[in-house]
Amino acid sequence: MLTNAPRGTKDILPDTVGDWLYVENKIRSLCQRFGYQEIRTPMFEHTELFQRGIGEGTDVVDKEMYTFQDRGDRSITLRPENTASAVRAYLQNKLYGDNALTKLFYIGSMFRYDRPQAGRMREFHQFGVEAIGEINPAVDAEIILLAMKLLEGLGLKDLELYINSVGCPKCRSKYREMLQNFFRDKLEDLCEDCRSRFERSPMRILDCKRDSDKQYMADAPRITDCLCDECSEHFNRLQKYLTKAGVKFSIDPRLVRGLDYYTKTAFEIKYPPLGAQSAVAGGGRYDGLIEEMGGNPTPAVGFATGLERVLLALEKQGLLPDKKNAVDVYVVALGERAQEEAFKLVMDLRDAGLNAAVDYAGRSMKAQMKQANKLNARYAAIMGDDELADGVVVLRDMAGSEQEKLPVNELVDKIRL
pLDDT at 360: 93
Residue 292 phi, psi (nearest 5): -60, -30
Report the distance separating Cα 197 and Cα 182, nearest Å: 14
Same domain as 131, residue 253: yes
Q: How many CB atoms lie within 10 A of CB 212?
A: 11
pLDDT at 200: 77
222 in any annotated domain: no
Q: pLDDT band for position 221 (50/70/90)?
A: confident
Q: Which residue has the higher pLDDT, 59 or 414?
A: 414
Report the distance separating Cα 107 and Cα 302, nearest Å: 14
Average pLDDT, the chain: 91
H helical segments located in 228-294: 229-244, 289-292
Q: In the listed set 268, 286, 316, which residue is the last one of a domain according to the structure?
A: 316
> By three-state DSSP, how is residue 246 classified?
coil
Per residue in 79-105, pLDDT tens? 999 999 999 999 999 998 767 899 999
* Residues forming beta bridges with residue 281, ordered by sequence position: 269
Same domain as 342, residue 302: no
Burial environment of residue 135 by CB neighbours within 10 A (0 to 12, 13 to 18, 19 or more): middle
Q: Which residue has the higher pLDDT, 242 or 415?
A: 242
CATH of the domain at 340: 3.40.50.800
Q: What is the DSSP letter of 39?
A: -
Report the distance separating Cα 293 and Cα 90, nearest Å: 11
pLDDT at 53: 81
User: Starting from the edge strand earliest in sequence, which strands make up the sheet with 327-333, in order?
Assistant: 356-358, 327-333, 377-383, 392-397, 403-407
Same domain as 99, residue 232: yes
Please provide the size of the chain in residues. Answer: 417
What residues contact residue 160 under an 8 Å CB cut-off, 6+ apart? 250, 269, 270, 271, 272
Same domain as 334, residue 308: no
Residue 412 predicted with pLDDT over 60: yes
Report the distance separating Cα 44 and Cα 60, nearest Å: 15
Same domain as 336, residue 305: no
Q: How many CB atoms lie within 10 A of CB 251?
A: 13
**Residues of the chain above pLDDT 70, percent:** 97
Report the distance separating Cα 170 and Cα 369, nearest Å: 72
Burial environment of residue 287 by CB neighbours within 10 A (0 to 12, 13 to 18, 19 or more): buried
What residues contact residue 105 under an 8 Å CB cut-off, 6+ apart? 27, 31, 36, 37, 38, 39, 127, 128, 129, 130
Report the distance separating Cα 293 and Cα 84, nearest Å: 9
pLDDT at 19: 95
Same domain as 335, residue 278: no
Same domain as 241, residue 379: no
Report the distance separating Cα 250 and Cα 176, nearest Å: 24
Secondary structure tally for the chain: helices H, strands E: 14, 16
Same domain as 138, residue 57: yes
Burial environment of residue 137 by CB neighbours within 10 A (0 to 12, 13 to 18, 19 or more): buried
Same domain as 338, residue 295: no
Q: pLDDT band for position 201 (50/70/90)?
A: confident
> Which domain, by its residues, includes 348?
327-416
Residue 228 phi, psi (nearest 5): -70, 170
Residue 146 predicted with pLDDT over 90: yes
Q: Which of 75, 61, 69 is nearest to 112 (CA)?
A: 61
Q: Helix 14-34 crosses helix 137-153 at what angle (to 10 degrees)? A: 150
221 in any annotated domain: no
Q: Give the mean model confidence (pLDDT) for residues 65-92.
A: 96
Answer yes or no: are the C-beta atoms of 246 and 141 closer than 8 Å: no
Q: What is the CA radius of gyration of the chain?
A: 28
Q: Which residue has the higher pLDDT, 171 or 249?
A: 249
Q: What is the DSSP letter of 323?
A: P
CATH of the domain at 95: 3.30.930.10
Residue 173 predicted with pLDDT over 60: yes
* Residues forming beta bridges with residue 392, ordered by sequence position: 407
pLDDT at 259: 59
Same domain as 64, residue 127: yes
Domain count, the chain: 2
Same domain as 259, residue 112: yes
Same domain as 161, residue 71: yes
pLDDT at 2: 65
Most confident of 66-80, 90-104, 266-280: 66-80
Q: pLDDT band for position 356 (50/70/90)?
A: very high
Q: In the listed set 283, 316, 349, which residue is the last one of a domain according to the structure?
A: 316
Q: Which of 153, 160, 119, 25 is nearest to 315 (CA)?
A: 119
